[in-house]
Structure 1
Amino acid sequence: MIMGFGSVLKNGFTRRRFMKGALLGAGAVATGSAWEIAQAMATGKKAGDVRGYGVEPGRVNIGSNENPLGASPRAVAAIAENLHKINRYDFGVDLPVRLNKQHNVPGVEGFELSFEDMRSFMRFRELNRVMVTPGSGPILQALAVIAAGNGGECIEAVPGYGSVARGFQSFQMMGKDVSVVRVPTTGDFVHDLGAMKAAITPTTSLIVVTNPNNPTGTIVPYDELVSLVDAAPEQAIVLIDEAYIHFVRDPNYQDAVKLALERDNVVVARTFSKIYGLAGMRIGYAVGGQRMMNMLMAHMGFFGGGLSTLGMHAALAALDDDEFVDRTLTVVNDGKEYLSAEFDRLGLAYTPSHGNYMIVDVGRDSRRMSGALFRRGVMVRSGSGYRTREVDLLGNHLRVTIGKPDELEVFVNELENILGGSSQG
């Protein structure tokens, strides 16, 4: 269940406690005591004082939902150990085998692939229910092409990720007989699955659910997903994008992989970019039944467009890096509680999130606000552009990635300075 964010201050979750606890948990203190550093950080840092992972000094980049702790150390080590192999092609079968086992695909438990025995390779092709790709983006693009190929209709929530809907729109511009139906979320920014079901027609060819939703961070219960799949016409593909599934805070929550393996029209998309910190490596994958795998292979080939040698080794190593995953979750969860407390203090409405980000209503044009923050060295994402025909649904919202404690401290300081000033610059 979601923690009661409004009570965090009552529970003693202060700014200084956040800074101290996160520093200790992440092992980020190099010199001096953690408490001294936490106290220094809590006095109004500017962006110029911050040194984030993978970003130039003096910039606070909390706009792209990246991992604030860098990449999985095991993945980094695996990349270094396999640099000498990059002159060779690697068909990357080890990772699909591992992911099939991890997701309990029937028939793969105890399976061992041997290139000395081609029968084992052919057997794996029959059993395989995972398509590994260079990022999850190619999966979304491929499904848009497949679903729009003979005309059809895409149903997607707004606000939502929107990548597949944009793919359909590109077919519209080429004269294809396709359409996009954007169904507004509820007042709490949750997918309105009842309205999405009501929008289904005989020409619906693709239904998209991003779960947790990006940019709102809300989730859809498993039984409601099943109900949506049951309502979909036979020819329609149901795509469930689980890029942020690792950050869900409800311990009883069930992901959709089992549903994808049981139904012949469901695909789950996942990525190594977020929880494992491998955004720059571009590693993603799809899980689905035999029909969906055949469709994707017909479009992308058995190897899904070709993951690099280093990407495969990085992903395999990251899957075993439980310590890094735990540290990431600690920093993200503590960061969400800290921001919730600060937004409460500032009187700003926000949406409790199951992602590594939050949206907050700043009460004014978010494009101008994000621009003002950018000029102060802080990069966040404006919510403007998630529209129905009448309303810009997040026009006053910012999406804030959960960064390191000092990054969030700078963001809050600068946000408060702008809100308290006479201008937004």
Structure 2
Amino acid sequence: MAMTSIDDSPAPSTTGRDTAGSTEQGLRPRGVFGKLPRYAAGKPPVVVEGLESFKLSSNENPLPPLPAVLEAIASETSVNRYPDPMTTALRTELAGYLGVPATDIVTGAGSLGALNQILATFAGQNDFDAPDEVVYAWRSFEAYPISVGLAGAAGVQVPVRADGTHDLDAMAAVITDRTRVVMLCTPNNPTGPVLTRDDVVGFLEKVPAHVVVVIDEAYQEFVRRSDAVDGIELYRGYENVIVLRTFSKAHGLAGLRVGYSVSQPALTEHLRVSAVPFAVSQIAEHAAVTSLRHIDEVEVRVQSIVDERIRVVAGLRDLGWTIPEAEGNFVWLALGEHTQDFAVRAGEHALSVRAFGSEGVRVSIGEEAANTRFLALCRDFPHRPAEG
């Protein structure tokens, strides 16, 4: 994996103070910072005269929150007060929706915030010992290596297969006595395929009981494959399983940062200690609760995105493009050396897409007009994704 290092050369003094040692050493962050990649958020589209611009680079929901949600948060006036640190109303609502005890839910600032709480609890640098190890597939969610590194742990990346799926046998094979956490991303971002229930159950049977297995289901609501794993089902039977979910995608609340984890008491008793106080604001909590209370309307909107995804996938395959299974709200184009060229051409058509080095391009499912323009771009692009 290509790493992007920050400049760790000594910074010039701007205070005029003569601090002992500062001239030689400067003010430096922890050494791990020089080894971490930087998170690259999806860029907005460039303005092209005569074309409506569309952002397809961040896997956002192209639809705004439900009208009931917008109305609910518009009336929220208590922002001069701290929110409920236990997010009681949201956990109670989620408990009823998921059919789990409210005590098994720990909220965070998006699913990434919830993940950082998990890593802070179970993996890091131990006194006088080598760092704990965290195993995950790669390429997968771009924030994984950053979060693992900041926790003080060592990431163990296992390449995904050519079809974009996790190689669970290879992941099980690299587990050692230093492994503390394994992360499974399903559907995998950015490649798209899901893990099946049978595959994950088989994998869990190979994982030592003391190793935490995180099932990251940020895109779970978009999945239509009948044999796909359901993390909530599995957490009931495995004490070492933690499920991650979010309100950012299906509910269209990415800007409010509401996520959560679900696990059994043996894990949640520790996660509550590492949970960031007041991470979910009262506005965010109110929005999430309201959205859950209108879940039928959310599901209609999600289905409209799934319908567009199906149209886009069919259109790409009609053009002769080979792409992995797509079960999130995005598609993956393994364009290799042509990745940056495609991203540039997309920009010329007022579309922003997410390019990953020389590996491929992830394109979010957006508005109907945006998806149609994307398909037209693919029709005229001279190169095709590499065969899996």
Range into which the TM-score falls when normalised by the shorter chain: 0.7 to 0.9
Task: Specify the alignment match of 2:99 in structure 1.
Answer: 104
* Correspondence list, 1:319-338, <5 A: 319-338=292-311
* CA distance in 1: counterparts of 2:237 and 2:48, whole angstroms: 49
Match of 1:141 among 89, 108, 116: 116
Higher fraction of helix: 1
Q: CA deviation at 1:97?
A: 1.2
Match of 1:409 in 2: 372
Q: What displacement does 1:47 show?
A: 6.4
Aligned residue number for residue 174 of structure 2 = 199
Are 1:85 and 2:78 matched, yes or no? yes
Q: Which residue number corresponds to residue 372 of structure 1?
A: 345
SS of residue paired to 2:169: helix
CA separation of 1:305 and 1:240: change in aligned 2, threshold 3 A: farther
How big is the shift at 1:162?
Answer: 4.1
Equivalent pair of 1:154/1:165 in contact (CA under 8 Å): no
- 1:166 aligns with 146
Equivalences for 1:287-302 in 2 at 5 Å?
287-300=262-275
Match among 48, 60, 64 for residue 66 of structure 1:
60
The offset of 1:329, in angstroms, is 2.7
Distance 2:291 2:185 in 1: 23
SS of equivalent to 1:317: helix
Relative to 1, partners in 2 of residues 1:228 and 1:162: Cα closer, same or farther, differing over 3 Å? farther
Q: 3-state SS of the aligned residue for 2:110?
A: coil
The answer for the alignment partner of 1:43 in structure 2 is: none
Q: Are 1:140 and 1:163, in contact at CA under 8 Å, matched by a contact in 2? A: no
Residue 423 of structure 1 is matched in structure 2 by: none
What is aligned with 2:195? 220
- Please list the CA deviations of residues 323-353 of structure 1 after superposition, one character each: whole Å capped at 9, or x if unmatched: 4323323322222222223323432211221
1:47·1:60 contact (CA, 8 Å) conserved in 2? no
> Per-residue deviation at 1:305?
3.9
| 8 Å CA contact 1:348, 1:361 repeated in 2 | no
Q: TM-score, normalised by structure 2?
A: 0.78
Q: In the alignment, what sits opposite 1:283?
A: 258
Q: Which amino acid aligns with 1:152?
A: D
For the structure 1 residues 284 and 159, does the alpha-carbon distance in structure 2 shift closer, same or farther, using more than 3 Å as the test?
A: same
The partner residue of 2:184 within 209, 230, 234 is: 209
Return the offset for 1:417. Answer: 4.3
Amino acid at match of 2:168: L
SS at match of 2:280: coil
SS in 2 for 1:341: helix
The residue that corresponds to 1:118 in the other structure is none
Q: Does structure 2 retain, via aligned residues, the 8 Å contact 1:47–1:410?
A: no
Report sequence identity in percent: 28
DSSP-derived class of the 2:323 partner? strand
**Structure 2 residues not aligned, in runs of 5+:** 1-46, 384-388
**Counterparts in 2 of 1:103 and 1:327: CA distance versus 1, 3 Å:** closer
What CA distance in whole angstroms lies between the structure 1 residues aligned with 2:299 and 2:209? 40
- Residue identity matched to 1:405: E
2:309 is the counterpart of 1:315: no
SS in 2 for 1:85: coil
Cα offsets for 1:301-321 (capped at 9, x unmatched): 6xx543111111100111122
Indicate conservation of the 8 Å contact 1:66/1:401, yes or no. Answer: yes
- Residue 199 to residue 162, structure 1, CA distance change in 2 (3 Å): farther
Q: Is this contact kept in 2: 1:48–1:59, CA < 8 A?
A: no
Q: CA deviation at 1:100?
A: 1.9
Deviation at 1:189, TM superposition (A): 1.2
CA RMSD of aligned residues (A): 2.3
Question: Given residue 167 of structure 2, which amino acid in structure 1 is its aligned partner?
Answer: D
**Contact 2:335–2:361 (CA<8 Å) still a contact in 1?**
yes
Q: Displacement of 1:81 after TM fit?
A: 2.7
Once the two structures are TM-superposed, the CA of residue 77 in structure 1 deviates from its matched residue by 1.7
Partner of 1:256: 231
Q: Which amino acid aligns with 1:97?
A: T
Q: Structure 1: which 5+ residue stretches go unaligned?
A: 1-45, 51-57, 107-126, 385-391, 421-425
Q: Deviations over 1:355-398 (max 9, x none)?
A: 011112446421232133224321011133xxxxxxx6xx2x22
Match of 1:341 among 304, 307, 314: 314
Query: Does the CA-based 8 Å contact 1:47-1:377 persist in structure 2?
Result: yes
Q: Does residue 271 of structure 2 align to residue 271 of structure 1? A: no
> How far apart are residue 72 of structure 1 and its match?
2.3
